[in-house]
Structure 1
Amino acid sequence: MTITHFIEELITLFIMAVALGMDAFSVGLGMGMIKLRLRQIFYIGVTIGIFHIIMPLGGMFVGKLLSEKFGALATWAGGILLILLGLQMMIASFKKDDKPFITPVGFGLILFALSVSMDSFSVGLSVGIYGAKVFLTVMMFGIVSMILTWIGLLSGKKLQGWLGSYSEALGGSILLAFGIKLLLP
């Protein structure tokens, strides 16, 4: 492999990683509108980065035989999870108590990370068939999605300060819209 070919592959993987990480950015923007501490934002970004490594690895290892069936299933599951999270945030914004039903802590964080990394599973199936370098691919996906998640969460936190009590409803609507977008062809 020549250095030119390696750079071309690196650029291609980076573009794919940014495309995959944009959903983490968008959802992070919505989720950042609930009150989160910087430590939570750090852990959320790391967790989503890890899921963006694990899910494509799983997709790569499942392989060519099941790609069409699991690709659609993963997208549907991710869309449904985002819709549920978005609805929950919107409903919680109208309640008197400040505690949302699902928070990005513990199991809620796992659900959140799973919902934004489902498309990585499908991409992993495709990339595995294409024959890309596994380590380089999954590390690029994980690092880029982690950074984009942090940017989204921090931007959402800033917006939350500007929008006050309406921020959680707006964040929920962003998650809801993104979930619906995943479900529509």
Structure 2
Amino acid sequence: MIWEIVILGFVLSLDNLRVSIALGTLPFGLKRAVQVALTFGLWDAVMPLVGMLIGHRIGEAVGGVADVVGAAALGGYGLYLVISSFRNPEPEELDHPWALFGIPLTLSLDNLLAGASLGVLGLSPWFSAAVFGGMTAVLSLVGLQLGRAAARLIRIRSDLMSGVTLIIAAATLPLWLGN
């Protein structure tokens, strides 16, 4: 059952990886990237844990709404970045803690349902939460670094590039989560 949890943790982390690539195009340093990756990991550990502890019933009620909330938050922040890029000069370093730390929360809401399902199966909530959180933190940091590399290769405003990328990620997120 350990490998099933590891594989599920990897699959649940893929949406965070994609969003991290988009966020990685924003101008912020390695310290902030590690903080963001750890925040992604924290929320992806907490939500399944809460889901496992609370149970399947609440997870089912939140499941359908979680995908919409996550996509709306991404799209809203992307739209904000696009509009801001046309109205303001390019920033040296972009630091919006409310977005950089709030986006991982909204993306982890779907993991509440996964946690509830695992709780019904009687799996260890603590082990599963640790695996999910660790997997997400690592993949998020990889995504942030890939985004940073892409921003160096593609010479357009990083805030505009991030905004457009986040809007695309928001539009496609329901397609990925539906599979």
1:125 aligns with 2:116: yes
1:66-98 Cα deviation digits (max 9, x unpaired): 332211122221111111122122223333323
Q: Secondary structure at the match of 2:57?
A: coil
1:153 aligns with 2:144: yes
Q: Which residue of 2 aligns with 1:5?
A: none
Q: CA deviation at 1:177?
A: 2.4
Question: How many aligned positions are there?
Answer: 175
Q: Secondary structure at the match of 1:89?
A: helix
Q: Which residue of 2 aligns with 1:174?
A: 165
Q: Is the 8 A contact 2:27 2:158 kept in 1?
A: no
State how far apart, in whole Å, the 2-side matches of 1:27 and 1:104 are: 15
State how far apart, in whole Å, the 1-side matches of 2:81 and 2:138 are: 24
State how far apart, in whole Å, the 2-side matches of 1:55 and 1:21 are: 13
Alignment equivalent of 1:54, drawn from 35, 43, 46: 46
State how far apart, in whole Å, the 1-side matches of 2:167 and 2:34 are: 24
State how far apart, in whole Å, the 1-side matches of 2:57 and 2:16 are: 28
Q: CA deviation at 1:99?
A: 4.5
State how far apart, in whole Å, the 2-side matches of 1:22 and 1:152 are: 10
Q: Which residue of 2 aligns with 1:27?
A: 19
State how far apart, in whole Å, the 1-side matches of 2:77 and 2:163 are: 7
Structure 1 residue runs of 4+, over 6 Å off? Answer: none
Q: Is the 8 A contact 2:38 2:137 kept in 1?
A: yes
1:42 aligns with 2:34: yes
Task: Go from structure 1 to structure 2 and tell me whether the alpha carbon gap of 1:10 and 1:56 turns closer, same or farther (over 3 Å shift).
Answer: same
Q: Secondary structure at the match of 2:114?
A: helix
In terms of mean alpha carbon deviation, does 161-170 or 25-34 score higher? Answer: 161-170
Q: Secondary structure at the match of 1:97?
A: coil
Alpha carbon RMSD of aligned pairs, Å? Answer: 2.1
Q: CA deviation at 1:149?
A: 0.5
Amino acid at match of 1:60: M
In terms of mean alpha carbon deviation, does 166-175 or 20-29 score higher? Answer: 166-175
Gaps of 5+ in 2: none
Q: CA deviation at 1:174?
A: 2.8
Identity %: 25
Q: CA deviation at 1:129?
A: 1.4
Q: 1:86-97 alignment to 2 at 5 Å?
A: 86-97=78-89
Gaps of 5+ in 1: 1-8
